[in-house]
Structures are given as C-alpha cells and as structure tokens.
Amino acid sequence: MDKILECRGLNKAYNGFPALNNINLSVAKGRIVGLLGPNGSGKTTLIKILTGLLTPNTGEILIDGKQIGPETKSIVSYLPDHNFLAPWRTVDGMVKYFADFYTDFDMSRADTMLDNLGIDRKAKIKTLSKGTQEKVALILIMSRRAKLYLLDEPIAGVDPATRDYILRTILSNYDSDSTIIISTHLISDVEQVLSDVVMINTGNLVVADTVDNLREKTGKSVDEYFREVFRC
Amino acid sequence: MAWEFNGKSPIFKQINDIIISKIIKGDYKSGEKLASVRDLAVEAGVNPNTMQRALSEIEGTGLLTTLRGDGRYITEDKELIGKFRQRFIEESTAEFLGKMRALDFSKDEIISIISKINM
C-alpha cells in the first residue's frame, strides 16, 4: 500500500446545502499536503469526514486501505480548528491524559517540544494565552506516532517565530512513511514545507498537484496562484 | 527559515542552485560527506521529498555521488567543480552585462564604472 488516503465520489450536504461535491482524491504515504481554499470552501468538512466525526452522504473513503472505523482512528492524529484542551487540567495533566489514551504517544517527543518552546508544565491550561494553548494542542497531536496527521489551521494563532519552530518540528519529527494534511490560509508560511497542494472551492476540487509541478506550470508561487484563482 | 526562496521557480531548482553555489564557493568541500536528506531539509525548511529530488538532480551532474548505504559525497573531481564555477562566472557576468546594455552603456564605459567601484 503506497496510498494512505483514497476518496472516491465523496458528497456531503448539510440540510440540502452542498458542502462537498464529488471529491476524488488520493494521497501517497510520506507526503505533506496543503489543503487550501477560501473560507467556507469545505476544508474542515473534508477533514472531519476523514476523522469519522462526520459521515459523507455518498462516496467511499479508505485510510491505509481500510474503511473509517476504530482501526483508522487509531492511526490518525487530528488537530481540530477549535480548542479541545480541558481548561482545568495542567499542561502535564493534559500530556499524561494523552499518553494514557493513545498507545502511540511518544513522551520524549512531547518533552522536547515543551522544553524548546519554554512551556510551563505546571500551569493550568485556562491560565495560558491563546497562542500558548495552541502550541500545547499541536505538541500533543504531533507527539503521537500516527500514520496520518490531520491539522486543521495549526499555526493561525501563533507568532511568526513559533510558526517557524512548529514547521521545523513537523519536518524533523514526521516519519518518512507518515503523512500530514494541513489546512491553512497562511500559504506563504507553509508553502516550502509542502510536497503537494489540494485546493477546494465551494465544495469542488480545483487543484491537486505537487508544489513543484504547480510552480513550474504557472511560474508562480502557490500563494500567488491561490490569490489569482480565488480573487474576490 | 534558513534558506531564502523566491516565488517564481520550483523550489527544488532553487535548492539546486543554492547547493551548487555552496560547492563552487567551497562551503561544501570536495570529497566531503553531505548531511542527510532529512537534516538538509530541516536546515533549509523544506519538504524532505523536495530535498531528495534536488539532490537526485545534482547527482545527474556528477557534483554529488552516492555510496550505497553511506550517504552522499561531494565529488573529488576538482576539474568538474571548476567547470561549474566557470559557468557560474559566465552566467553572472552575462546577466550583469545584459542589464547594463539595456541602459545603453558601451563596453568601455562599463569597464570604467567597474574600476571606480570599491570592492
């Protein structure tokens, strides 16, 4: 199996309002994929379907060759676009909770990242700033040795220096056969980290290509190309 | 991020140029072992797949050689490095001359301008 993800004819509507239309997508192992699209284009819907939080109306999804279920959930590490941390816990408490819950949790990874970012492990989550909470969330998600990471807007709330650290962390921590899908608006920040780009707009797949191909074909950076395609 | 990339050409091509210029300048020395793909990717802040592709392309030129199971080395062929150095000099000079000619400077004028600049 060289494919980690395979979607065929995926459709999803909310009360008749179409959110995803006939999405066909396959992602090879070891790639870092940027899931790009304007607000309301269906990025989060697609990610939630891959996690099993939403079910599609029609279509088939295979993750590592398997239908969505307990097995796929155990190999997918998902960073939601909202805060999921328990506000009353300490950072350490949150780390222990994750380590208990996920067998693939790598404590040494979490230790390194918490130390490098200078996060106070004794602090309660609710006393941390929004940006620091986002860092903790991302550390928890990236400390798992998962096969597929789904990161929904992972760097939106952090400062540029931390953004760089996080991107470097992603590059140095991911195993060469694990795959990362990052949904983001901050294209120019993540562009050079990506191997592939998937662009969706109003629920339709617009582009699915490698970053190098796209740059070669268009003579533009992904960021410039995005601005052109989605000009308001 | 450590390495700077522009938006115009594919990143692997820009990595090619950067690594080749490091070899020409002697930052990466002839016969020396190159860092691993992953370490280079982290240093440059790029995807390891992209770094891999760039290195494979440079191998095509002979400037890098792979020893199975022991990573990549900078070529010991100093003559080859010299050729790339020469090509770099010619290309950079041609680019500069192109810009100056667009401003209608003659060869003599360009030479006199260069001789007045403190380097």
Share of chain A above pLDDT 90, in %: 64
Interface contact flag, A171 B5, Cβ < 8 Å: no
Residues in chain B: 119
Q: Name the residue with higher pLDDT: A96 or A162.
A: A96
Would you say residue A173 has pLDDT above 80?
Answer: no
Residue-range definition of the domain harbouring residue B74: 11-116
How many interface pairs between A and B have CB atoms less than 8 angstroms apart?
Answer: 63
CA distance A219 to B10: 8
Q: B22 lies in a domain?
A: yes
Contacts of B2 in chain A (CB under 8 A): none
Strand boundaries in chain B, DSSP class E? 64-66, 72-74
CATH number of the domain to which B24 belongs: 1.10.10.10
ipTM more than 0.90?
no
Contacts of A213 in chain B (CB under 8 A): 10
* Residue of chain B nearest A30, judged by CA positions: B49
Q: B99 lies in a domain?
A: yes
**What is residue A164's predicted lDDT score, i.e. its pLDDT?**
84
Domain boundaries, chain A: 3-229
Q: What's the Rg (C-alpha) of chain B?
A: 17
Q: How many separate domains does chain B show?
A: 1
Residues in chain A: 232
- From the CA of A171, how many Å to the nearest CA of chain B? 6
Contacts of B6 in chain A (CB under 8 A): 221
Interface contact flag, B47 A171, Cβ < 8 Å: yes
Which amino acid does the sequence have at A43? Answer: K
Mean pLDDT of A163-177: 80
Task: Identify the helix (H) or strand (E) that includes residue A62.
Answer: strand A58-63
- Model confidence at B117, pLDDT cuts 50, 70, 90, reads confident
The minimal CB distance from A172 to the residues B1, B9, B42 is found for B42
Interface contact flag, A164 B10, Cβ < 8 Å: no
Kindly tell me the burial class for residue B57, based on how many C-beta atoms sit within 10 Å of its own C-beta (0-12, 13-18, 19 or more).
Answer: middle
Q: B108 lies in a domain?
A: yes
* Most B CBs within 10 Å, among A195, A214, A220, to test the B interface: A195
Interface contact flag, B50 A223, Cβ < 8 Å: no
**What is residue B106's predicted lDDT score, i.e. its pLDDT?**
86
Interface contact flag, A172 B38, Cβ < 8 Å: yes
**What is residue A230's predicted lDDT score, i.e. its pLDDT?**
84
The architecture of the domain spanning A3-229 is: 3-Layer(aba) Sandwich (3.40)
Would you say residue A1 has pLDDT above 60?
Answer: no
Tens digits of residue pLDDT in B23-60: 999 899 998 999 999 889 988 989 888 899 999 999 99
Contacts of A164 in chain B (CB under 8 A): 1, 45
